[in-house]
């Protein structure tokens, strides 16, 4: 894919393949196009030529708000965590794109919404256990050292 901003070429025929089940990161100097690439993958930017396919399907067929449901996520350098909430609750917030409840069902507290909330909590707990963070799961993010939150909570929210 290629991306141009006026006369500036941000990405010039970038191409890569990610194998199923792998997590990939981009490393490079400032101005290398990393953020532009992520903004294209998440459909925040349109690219001038090329295509992005995920599981054989063009991402252009998916609206930007549907990208997370495909399993594509990103984290940001500046974390926006809910500091007064626990580590577990921060991870649960990150799992909500997996849910299907709507505002009215939640407001009426229909039985199926509780079952879905429990399922999302189970997913969050699996991530906590996978990262060996059960000891701090119920602690407020604000009470943890920054090094912990930057490394571990971001990974969990990207889940």
Residue 84, token pair as written in the block: 């007064």
Is residue 56 scored above 70 in pLDDT? yes
Query: How many CA atoms are closer than 13 Å to the CA of 24, on its beta-carbon side?
Result: 13
Is residue 13 scored above 80 in pLDDT? yes
Please report which confidence band the pLDDT of residue 139 belongs to, taking 50, 70 and 90 as the band edges. Answer: very high
Residue 56, token pair as written in the block: 């054989």
Is residue 118 scored above 70 in pLDDT? yes
| C-alpha to C-alpha distance for 15 and 43, rounded to whole angstroms | 17
pLDDT at residue 94 in the model: 78
Is residue 31 scored above 70 in pLDDT? yes
Please report which confidence band the pLDDT of residue 151 belongs to, taking 50, 70 and 90 as the band edges. Answer: low
pLDDT tens per residue across span 123-138? 899 989 988 889 999 9
Is residue 158 scored above 70 in pLDDT? no
pLDDT tens per residue across span 66-114? 888 887 877 666 667 788 999 899 888 877 777 888 888 888 888 888 8
Q: C-alpha distances in angstroms, 1 versus 36, 37, 47?
A: 11, 9, 7
Average pLDDT, the chain: 82
Q: What is the mean pLDDT of residues 34-58?
A: 86
Number of helices and strands in the chain (H, E): 6, 4
């Amino acid at each position: 894919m290629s991306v141009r901003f006026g006369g500036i070429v941000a990405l010039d025929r970038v191409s890569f393949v990610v194998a199923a089940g792998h997590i990939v990161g981009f490393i490079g100097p400032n101005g290398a196009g990393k953020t532009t690439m992520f903004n294209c993958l998440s459909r925040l930017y349109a690219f001038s030529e090329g295509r992005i396919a995920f599981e054989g399907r063009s991402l252009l067929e998916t609206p930007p708000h549907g990208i997370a449901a495909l399993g594509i996520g990103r984290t940001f350098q500046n974390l926006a965590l809910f500091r007064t909430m626990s580590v577990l609750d921060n991870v649960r917030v990150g799992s909500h794109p997996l849910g299907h409840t709507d505002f009215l069902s939640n407001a009426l507290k229909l039985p199926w919404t509780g079952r879905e909330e429990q399922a999302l909590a189970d997913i969050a707990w699996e991530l906590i256990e996978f990262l060996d963070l059960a000891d701090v799961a119920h602690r407020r993010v604000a009470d943890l050292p920054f090094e912990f939150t930057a490394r571990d909570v971001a990974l969990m929210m990207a889940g």
